[in-house]
Amino acid sequence: MDTASLLLLKQLKELNRHPVEGISAGLIDESNPYAWNVILVGPSDTLYEGGFFKARLDFPRDYPIKPPKMV
């Protein structure tokens, strides 16, 4: 494994160990640490309250030098 993939797996593990309120993330495919599924929960007292928003993060091979793309 290269440095970027090791860092991504470490960060995902940390996010799941200490979750951030309103955010859930996981790998799309266990063999590819560069593609994540993300679910964002709409925050209280906003127009988005109660909403669940799906997103995909695609990390470049030179992460963290370059940011991921979110769709």
Q: Are 33 and 12 in contact (CB under 8 A)?
A: yes
Which tokens go with 33?
């640490």
Query: What tokens does 40 get?
Result: 């964002």
Domain ranges of the chain: 3-70
pLDDT digits (tens, 9 = 90+) for 9-41: 999 999 999 999 999 999 999 999 999 999 999
Instruction: Using pLDDT thresholds of 50, 70 and 90, give the confidence band for residue 1.
Output: confident
pLDDT at residue 54 greater than cutoff 90: yes
61 pLDDT higher than 90:
yes
The CATH topology of domain 3-70 is: Ubiquitin Conjugating Enzyme (3.10.110)
